[in-house]
Structure 1
Amino acid sequence: TCLLNAPSNLIFTATQIVDQRTEVHKTLNYILHNDLVILFLDDYHALYLRS
C-alpha cells in the first residue's frame, strides 16, 4: 500500500508546489511591474526638474 500511495502523494505535493509557485510568480510580476512604473516616473520627474 505504501508503494501505491507514494506516487499519488508525490503528484499531489508536486501540483501544490507548482500552484504556490505560480501564485508567487504572479505576485512578483505584479510588484516588479509596479516598481518599474514607479522607477520610470521617478526618472521622468528627475529629467523634468533638470530641464
Structure 2
Amino acid sequence: MVDSNADDPSPRCATCGDRIAADGRRRVETTVEDGEVVYRQFCDETCLAAWERV
C-alpha cells in the first residue's frame, strides 16, 4: 500500500507524530541547542504541554 501523504510537506507533531494542520491551534517551540536553533512543532497546546513535561 502506498502512503497517499508521502508527498505532503506539512510538518509532524513532535509529541504524537500526526501531521499538523495549518490552523490556529498549531504551536511552535524554539530553542537553542549546541549553538543551533531548533524548531519543534505541535498539533495544539495539549501536545506542547505533554512534551514540556518530559
Structure 1 and Structure 2 fold alike (TM over 0.5): no
Bin the TM-score by the shorter chain.
Answer: under 0.3
Bigger helix fraction: 1
Q: Which has the larger radius of gyration?
A: 1
Bigger strand fraction: 2
TM-score by length of 2: 0.17
